Chains A and B, each alone.
Chain A
């Protein structure tokens, strides 16, 4: 394996391969930064161009795009609070408040550094433990995935600490949103009101840009209505120092760990791992305290961003060794393999080992290039924020609409986004956190599908959720998390004041 990788490194260290990876990475960052354009979309558009290229070159280009979009996605989250992908949504939680405080340079800098570190470490872990990662992907059974999801939900409801009821209501609203559509197991239509567009559920990208982007515009517009001046902000272009980043090793190591392992589980991937790592880092953080998350702390950017890029290694291994796609991009790459005359699946490693190694090397090279491109571009990007804030509103609305439109190539998702934006605006006024809603919507379908599938496997026997050691461990973790929450709540109540109760609801 090491020989194969070294050979692939030697092959990649030439003008054309490096150029392909660089072009892909730059394209990827651009595509990721524009809400509505996604990595699978960019790969599909370029696919016909790659027919005439050598297979290795084609994949170097695609890998560049795949890696680059992971970083690019954070730009729109930080600057516009309009994540183009669910995986970038988490970065908006602390990235946008940080930018609002005029520290966009730091936010972008942390995002670039943690994406790179996450990508590099994720790659090393994934490549060193190929059989383990492949086995996680293949042998993760529905019951395991359901329990991971439930643990995530419990972590989420702690987002609105002090008002767990509001947190839970938010999560339940998210579950409600996610339950719209045609139910695959029983073939029943839920909350579709016989509308054909609702049969496949509410388009998730639209829900996301609605609750984040459009809600923030409405809140700011309201401030204009009250004639309270929106402070003109001078954004600093100061980037963070590497020392400040490495001091926060805990956040990026947790993010990376989640990224590699959870990212390898098909169907959970980066969307789940970013939120899980954010919640974990937040909950166990002493300095800054958990309450500070959501107001613009670097850890809140570092955890999800390192996790997001660490999934590139985690999702690539099952794709290359088993032919199992972990997300949309890897699904498209599997299709591209067929069109390039390869046979993806369990035999790929045997029949096309040089290509597999070249792809793995391309991920590493693209990650390094992403750092330099991202770092170099950050100064230019921050200038966006130096403008009058109200000038950003039309852009947020336009990009949110494009993002929603692209979810389905039609106008329907735009209506969904607008509706979610209005709903999010009023819910935030009532002290709810839109994050809990979005998280409920992300994890809800994963949990529901896997709980039901797990029960179908076991013929309705609930013992399936405790019949292996990892599952017992997960159940114990869930019980511990819940009791920890209850303990904190009872302990906080006598000493706490009314002001303390609502504090957490600002974590949006």
Chain B
């Protein structure tokens, strides 16, 4: 009778030992950063910059895995079911996740994941081509009021922070202009550069090069641009000044499955913090055009909840 008990005890001790060891030597294997979007986009570029910075901190390889499809569905469902060993980490923008959840009734929610911390905060900004003659939000309002329903507002897609910003700004101020959804940021970028839309709403720092060359003007922003490397646009007008009470942008954060043990979460988060604050990532920030940030687990998770509630309210008030 004793033998089984001992066996259980030994097994238990082994598991416990292995567990503590797993936490102590985290990560014990290759780390995969899961990106729900195609290679070459903003989130993907940040993921690759962060992967290089993280690799310097650990003895393991860090790879970026683009699990695309279903407007992010595939990557999120994959993460929801993933083993909670901290070796697979989802990197996604807060507003990309929240707008999919709110507009598309996704089979996952933001609280299906545990937050590891956030590494980038980029407001959504409003751009207009030099030839459009629009250089400020007020000017856009004025033009829209004199020709109701004529001006166009380009957004990356309906289920995006771009659309939330456009609808909130116009809804609060009673503006009648047509929102045109594009097939993602790439085609929208082209339409703004080609002066085919009156204004375009897109994540900063997309088209920063055209802003620097003077082809495109920043007429407003969903939030403060203090972290942008290019100084002349730092004091761009925010939508807050036009009655939209929330900040709209995207916070790129790291997520793991919800049932990841607390010790592992703490160990992983500490490591992510080191990588986010490293010199390598700071120099990536200079290339990317934006300074990285570090938000701890709680700040990150609280923000996800706040943003979700704010978007839900905007959708109920101005879109539905």
Q: Give A residues with C-beta under 8 Å from B.
A: 40, 44, 47-48, 51, 137-139, 141, 182, 184-187, 196-197, 199-200, 203, 266-267, 322-325, 328, 331-335, 338-348, 350, 408-410, 449, 453, 456-457, 459
- The residue on B at minimum CB distance from A196 is B73
- Residue contact A197 to B150, C-beta cutoff 8 Å: no
Contacts of B103 in A (CB 8 A): 187
Contacts of B196 in A (CB 8 A): 141, 457
Q: List 30 A-B contacts (CB under 8 A).
A: A48-B52, A141-B196, A182-B70, A184-B158, A184-B182, A185-B158, A187-B103, A187-B158, A187-B159, A196-B107, A199-B71, A200-B70, A203-B69, A322-B193, A323-B207, A324-B186, A324-B190, A324-B193, A328-B40, A331-B40, A335-B44, A335-B45, A339-B48, A345-B213, A346-B213, A347-B212, A350-B213, A409-B66, A410-B74, A456-B178
Closest to B47 in A: A335
Contacts A47-B48, A187-B103, A345-B207; is A332 near B40 (CB within 8 Å)?
Answer: yes
Given contacts A47-B48, A325-B186, A200 and B71 within 8 Å (CB-CB): yes
Cβ contact within 8 Å between B186 and A184: no
Q: Are A335 and B194 in contact (CB under 8 A)?
A: no
| Contact in complex: A139, B182 (CB < 8 Å) | no
Bound complex: CA A73 to CA B51 (Å): 31
Contact between chains at A182 and B193 (CB < 8 Å): no
Knowing A196-B107, A346-B209 are in contact, say whether A408-B186 is a contact too (CB < 8 A): no
Once the chains are docked, how many angstroms separate the CA of A203 from the CA of B39?
A: 17
Q: Say how far B268's CB is from chain A's closest CB, in angstroms.
A: 22
Instruction: Determine the residue in chain B with the shortest Cβ distance to A456.
Output: B180
Distance from B180 Cβ to chain A, minimum over Cβ atoms (Å): 5
CB nearest to A336 among chain B residues: B40
| 4 pairs of A and B residues whose beta carbons are closest in the complex | A345-B209, A331-B40, A335-B40, A199-B70
Whole-angstrom distance between the alpha carbons of A184 and B154 in the complex? 13
Task: Kindly supply a per-residue 1/0 record for chain B positions 204-226, scoring 1 wherever the CB is within 8 Å of any chain A CB and 0 otherwise.
Answer: 00011110110100000000000
Chain A residues with Cβ below 8 Å from B182 are 184, 453
Name the residue on A nearest B207 (C-beta).
A345
Q: Does B68 contact A (CB under 8 A)?
A: yes
- Closest beta carbon of chain B to A455's beta carbon, Å: 10
- B41 touches which of A184, A331, A449 (Cβ 8 Å): A331
Give 9 A-B pairs besides A184-B182, A266-B186 with Cβ atoms closer than 8 angstroms: A139-B194, A182-B104, A185-B181, A196-B77, A324-B189, A334-B40, A339-B287, A342-B287, A347-B212
Question: Would A346 and B215 be within 8 Å (CB), given that A266-B190, A408-B69, A459-B149 are in contact?
Answer: yes
B183 interface residue (CB < 8 Å to A)? yes
Decide yes or no: A197 and B39 within 8 Å by CB, A322-B193, A344-B209 being known contacts: no
Instruction: Give the distance in Å from the alpha carbon of A346 to the alpha carbon of B212 in the complex.
Output: 9
Asked if B67 is at the interface (CB within 8 A of a chain A CB), the reply is: yes
Contact A196 B74 (CB under 8 A): yes
Give complex CA distance A185, B103 in Å. Answer: 13
State whether B180 touches A453 (Cβ < 8 A): yes
B194 touches A409 (CB 8 A): no
A222 to B180, CA, bound (A): 50
Determine the distance from Cα of A449 to Cα of B191 in the docked complex, in whole angstroms. 14
| CB nearest to A333 among chain B residues | B40
Taking the closest CB of chain A, its distance from the CB of B42, in whole angstroms, is: 9
Docked Cα-Cα span, A138 to B77, in Å, equals: 37
In the bound complex, residues from chain A placing their C-beta under 8 Å from that of B77 are 196
Asked whether B39 lies within 8 Å of A44 as measured between CB atoms, the reply is yes
Distance from B264 Cβ to chain A, minimum over Cβ atoms (Å): 26
Roughly how many angstroms separate A58 CA and B31 CA in the complex, as a whole number? Answer: 25
Q: How far is the CA of A332 from the CA of B103 in the complex (A)?
A: 29
Contact between B39 and A331, CB atoms less than 8 A apart: yes
Tell me which residues across on chain B come within 8 A of A333, comparing CB atoms. Answer: 40
Known A-B contacts A187-B158, A457-B152; the reply to A196 vs B70 at CB < 8 A is yes
Q: A199-B73, A324-B190 are in contact. Are A459 and B178 (CB under 8 A)?
A: yes
A40 touches B39 (CB 8 A): yes
In the complex, chain B residues whose CB is within 8 Å of the CB of A328 = 38-40
Are B287 and A182 interface neighbours, CB within 8 A?
no
Q: CB-CB < 8 A to B178: which residues of A?
A: 456, 459
Instruction: Please report the C-alpha to C-alpha distance between residue A346 and residue B129 in the assembled complex, in whole angstroms.
Output: 13
Q: Residues of B with Cβ closer than 8 Å to A?
A: 38-41, 44-45, 48-49, 51-52, 65-71, 73-74, 77, 103-104, 107, 149-150, 152, 157-159, 178, 180-183, 186-187, 189-190, 193-194, 196, 207-210, 212-213, 215, 284, 286-289
Query: From residue B56, how far is it (CB to closest CB) to chain A in Å?
Result: 11
A457 to B213, CA, bound (A): 26
- Cβ distance B154 to chain A, nearest Cβ, rounded Å: 10
- A335 CB contacts on chain B under 8 angstroms: 39-41, 44-45, 48
Known: A335-B41, A346-B213, A457-B152. A449 touches B183 (CB 8 A): yes
Find the A residue at minimum CB distance from B48.
A339
Closest to B214 in A: A346
- How far apart are the CA atoms of A328 and B212 in the complex, in Å? 26
- The winner among A48, A51, A328 for most chain B CB atoms within 10 A is A48
Known pairs A197-B74, A338-B287, A457-B180; A347 contacts B213 (CB<8 A) = yes
Kindly list chain A residues whose C-beta atoms are within 8 Å of the C-beta of B45: 335, 338-339
Residues of A within 8 A of B213 (CB): 345-347, 350
Contacts of A186 in B (CB 8 A): 158
Chain A residues contacting B71 (CB-CB under 8 Å) are 182, 199-200
A333 to B41, CA, bound (A): 10
Q: Could you tell me if A184 and B181 are in contact, using CB atoms closer than 8 angstroms?
A: yes
User: With a CB–CB cut-off of 8 A, which chain A residues contact B189?
Assistant: 323-324
Complex: how many Å from CA A28 to CA B28?
34
Q: Is the CB of B287 within 8 A of A197?
A: no
Give CA–CA (A409, B195) in the complex, Å: 37
Measured in the bound complex, the distance between the Cα atoms of B68 and A138 in whole Å is: 27
Q: How far is the CA of A409 from the CA of B181 in the complex (A)?
A: 28
A345 to B212, CA, bound (A): 10
Q: Which residues of A contact B39 (CB under 8 A)?
A: 40, 44, 328, 331-332, 335
**B68 contacts A408, CB within 8 Å?**
yes
Residue of chain B at shortest CB distance from A192: B70
Residues in B with CB closer than 8 Å to A346 are 193, 209-210, 213, 215
Task: Determine the residue in chain A with the shortest Cβ distance to B158.
Answer: A187
Instruction: Give the distance in Å from the alpha carbon of A449 to the alpha carbon of B38 in the complex.
Output: 20
Shortest Cβ distance from residue A193 to the other chain B in the assembled complex, whole angstroms? 13
Contacts of A340 in B (CB 8 A): 287
Chain A: CB-nearest residue to B186: A325
Q: How far is the CA of A199 from the CA of B69 in the complex (A)?
A: 8
Given contacts A187-B158, A324-B189, A332-B40, contact A343 B152 (CB under 8 A): no
CA A48 to CA B73, docked complex, whole Å? 27
For A331, the closest partner residue in chain B by CB is B40
For A342, what are the chain B residues with a Cβ–Cβ distance below 8 Å?
287
In the bound complex, CA of A325 to CA of B38 (Å): 13
